[in-house]
Amino acid sequence: MRLEPLPNPSPLRSVGVTLLALGLAFALVGGVFWAYGLSPLEAYRTMLEGTLLDPRGWQEVLRRTIPLLLIGAGLSLAFRTQFYNIGAEGQLLLGAVLAAGVALFLPLPPALSLPAMALAAALGGALWCGLAAWLKNRFYVNEILTTLMLNYVAQSLVIYLINGPWRGKDVRGYIYSDRFAEYQQLPVLLGSNVHWPTLALGIALALLLQLLLFRSTLGFRLRVVGENPGAARYLGISQSRAFLVVALITGGAAGLAGFGEIAGIHHRLIEPTQLSSGYGFTAIIVAWLARGNPALVLLTAPLMGLILAGGDVLKVSFNLPFRIVDVFSGVMLFALIGSELFLRYRLRHR
């Protein structure tokens, strides 16, 4: 057997291969269910009923989608430019910190409060990621290392604030900040935790970044830097500037996600591991699956949201351990990326 390149794979083939890959993933995870003494069909039926066939399930998928959408759109741009930001989790926290700072300490007219919080959050995330870009440009420090390390620093910063200077007066000494005022909380879809303004922001951002990437000079420059650094140098495009721009955008987007989590759900600054649910890492997958197209994140973010929400259903319905979610998303991911080869090649018997 050998591989034969396909110059122009048909869309039908793409859909077919992807569906086959998903089928394989479902079969493998089904095996895990079976090993746990659970009928795979029963498990999948429950997951489906608890998510897509249930209005409350939809709300959950959407709530999980919001931060993934924001961070994922930003990251897809960053990966396109070969800027490997894996510190979105820390940037999300910085966004939450600055948004909380504005909410708690900046006396603003109520109408301006939420926009100012959003702005501050974007700024916080952008600066945290911008720091990594600056270190890369000025001192040649690899951004994978910096962004990863800065995650831990961001966690310590949040803990310091809620342990000490920002500890709330209404929490009886617990490690929370005070609760935000009503007008500092994002509106939600009735009876749910879906903070829709942030959802709208995420959709707009994904489309905007798509336009920026493919319809603007800046986008062209970013793509050249990512695809062919040599050509970028030849054309006089500054790699450093591209990295900085991308870092500010992707960090800002992650910061906005942090704003959504605390202004939409928690309504205070809380302990970092309880604040985010690891969205910064999950969004890396979202971005990679979108293959460098911010707009495609509109599909991949809800897909991951669906897996996360579906995992919750399994946890509640069958007392399954929470790790089932990790296995599920991991296997799904393996199947999807493993199948990509068969989009571009086909197997031939020699």
Instruction: Considering only residues 262 through 281, tell me which ones interact with other proteins, judged by CB under 8 A.
Output: 265-267, 270-271, 274, 277, 281
CB-based burial of residue 288 (10 Å sphere; 0-12 exposed, 13-18 middle, 19+ buried)?
Answer: middle
Q: Does 333 bind other proteins (CB under 8 A)?
A: yes
Structure tokens at 76: 């897809």
Structure tokens at 259: 């704003």
Q: CB neighbours (10 Å) of residue 9? A: 15
Structure tokens at 151: 């995650």
Q: Does 18 bind other proteins (CB under 8 A)?
A: no
Q: Does 22 bind other proteins (CB under 8 A)?
A: no
Q: Does 330 bind other proteins (CB under 8 A)?
A: yes
CB-based burial of residue 28 (10 Å sphere; 0-12 exposed, 13-18 middle, 19+ buried)?
Answer: middle
Q: Does 237 bind other proteins (CB under 8 A)?
A: no
Q: Does 322 bind other proteins (CB under 8 A)?
A: yes
Single residue of 65, 81, 146, 185 touching other proteins by CB under 8 A: 146
108 — alpha (psi -120 to 50), left (phi > 0) or beta? beta
Q: Does 32 bind other proteins (CB under 8 A)?
A: yes
Single residue of 9, 24, 179, 220 touching other proteins by CB under 8 A: 179
Q: Does 241 bind other proteins (CB under 8 A)?
A: no
Q: Does 160 bind other proteins (CB under 8 A)?
A: yes
Nearer to other proteins among residue 111 and residue 350 (C-beta): 350
The torsion angle over the Cα atoms of residues 168, 197, 313 and 49, rounded to 10 degrees, is 160
Residue with tokens 């269910």: 33
Nearer to other proteins among residue 220 and residue 345 (C-beta): 345
Nearer to other proteins among residue 9 and residue 108 (C-beta): 9
Q: Does 321 bind other proteins (CB under 8 A)?
A: yes
Q: Does 191 bind other proteins (CB under 8 A)?
A: yes
Nearer to other proteins among residue 84 and residue 119 (C-beta): 84
Q: Does 50 bind other proteins (CB under 8 A)?
A: yes
Q: Does 247 bind other proteins (CB under 8 A)?
A: no
In one letter, which amino acid is 163?
Answer: N
Task: In whole angstroms, give the CA distance from residue 175 to residue 131.
Answer: 28
Helices (H), 88-142: 88-105, 110-139
Q: Does 174 bind other proteins (CB under 8 A)?
A: yes
Residue count of the chain, please give it. 350
DSSP 60-98: HHHHHHHHHHHHHHHHHHHHHTT-----HHHHHHHHHHH
Residue 253: CB minimum distance to other proteins, A: 19
Mask for 74-103, x = binds other proteins (CB under 8 A): ----------x-------------------
Nearer to other proteins among residue 206 and residue 325 (C-beta): 325
DSSP 232-286: HHHTT--HHHHHHHHHHHHHHHHHHHHHHHIIIIISS---HHHHHTTHHHHHHHH
Residue 161: CB minimum distance to other proteins, A: 9
Task: In whole angstroms, give the CA distance from residue 6 to residue 72.
Answer: 29
How many amino acids of this chain bind other proteins (CB under 8 A)? Answer: 72
Residue 104: CB minimum distance to other proteins, A: 15
Nearer to other proteins among residue 270 and residue 306 (C-beta): 270
In one letter, which amino acid is 63?
Answer: R
Beta-ladder partners of 346: 4
Single residue of 48, 241, 288, 346 touching other proteins by CB under 8 A: 288
Residue with tokens 């399994």: 314
Q: Does 44 bind other proteins (CB under 8 A)?
A: no
Nearer to other proteins among residue 220 and residue 334 (C-beta): 334
Single residue of 22, 24, 116, 159 touching other proteins by CB under 8 A: 159
∠ CA 18-20-26, nearest 5°, is 105
